Structure 1
Amino acid sequence: MTTLANRPHTALVLIDLQNDVVAGAYRRNEVLDAVNVLIARARAARVPVVWVQHADEALAAGSEAWKIVAELTPAAGETIVGKRYRDAFEGTDLERVLAGLGVGKLIVAGAQTDMCVRSTLHGAFARGYDAVLVSDAHTTVDMTQRGAPPPDAVIRHTNMYWSGQKAPGRSGGIVESGRVEFGESGR
């Protein structure tokens, strides 16, 4: 249903599942377990897995903090897109990668819910993609000291407002990890 022509395929997009990004994340282990299941199912269905990896002054590229967590391992041939902004499309080659794969629908998981996950979902949607958030496979850290709601409330709120996301020719929505249907070859 995407508005992007000739883009019938789906990709699993994993955002910023890096050591420092998820070090103190809410339900870290449960989220990483859910992501591992999604990865295995996507690979079995031959659906592309696209990794997004943030770098900036506080998260230096190549550092231990910057690396993808040990619990998750990109497979040979899977794309890793480096980014410097919250929206994984801004200043990156993510659009080129997805276009080359014929992808018009994104299944999104990762961190942090209230920053890079939300920004990338909105960026995808505005660019014509269908964008589905895996409701139990995204997380954030506690930023209540900076005025944010507690992590569980941030996650619940994001799931609530993304569940009804739609626009002409595009759809959003949420799905639990156990209910994600990739289909053969990303169709």
Structure 2
Amino acid sequence: MSDKKLSILLLTGPPGVGKTTLVRKVCQELLGTHRINCNGFYTEEVRDSNRQRIGFDVITLAEQKTAKLARVDANIKGPYVGKYGVFVKDFEDTTLPLLRQSQTLQLLVMDEIGKMELKSKRFESSVYNCLEVGSTILATVPFEMRQPLPLVEKLKTHPKAKTIVVTKENRNNLQKEIIEALLDMIIKKL
């Protein structure tokens, strides 16, 4: 990663391949070993007692604050993605303060920027703002979609972005590469 202009690192890959696990490991090392000022959020599956997926939560990196992102049979009037009702207000209350502080962070982490998250127009607008101010970003995005999401496509084609495809074959060997790339981006901004 010798290009001085890179400031966005995107991870993509099939669902369940290990993107969130990789993001969490990278952030633990950046926060602990390298003392990088990073914050953001990741999403996590919620399962019932029968191990059936019933939804998703959003969790902040620094405070480990948890909020509902989506649930099956949510009985809400808000938007749905498939069978999941999306709790837009809960998501916004948890994530928007993090995006507003992106200029004070060395690294903003967003896992993920996908269909559910983009049901929030305020979130989408905040991500665009982070791009405009030149925040250093680590984000996960959907791998392949029948109907591409405009923001995701903008991120993937952004001149300051690099995309890494996570597979079952490479996921255990990517952590060092990702950390080096992010440290390089952060150091070049100093």
TM-score (norm 1): 0.43
Bigger CA radius of gyration: 2
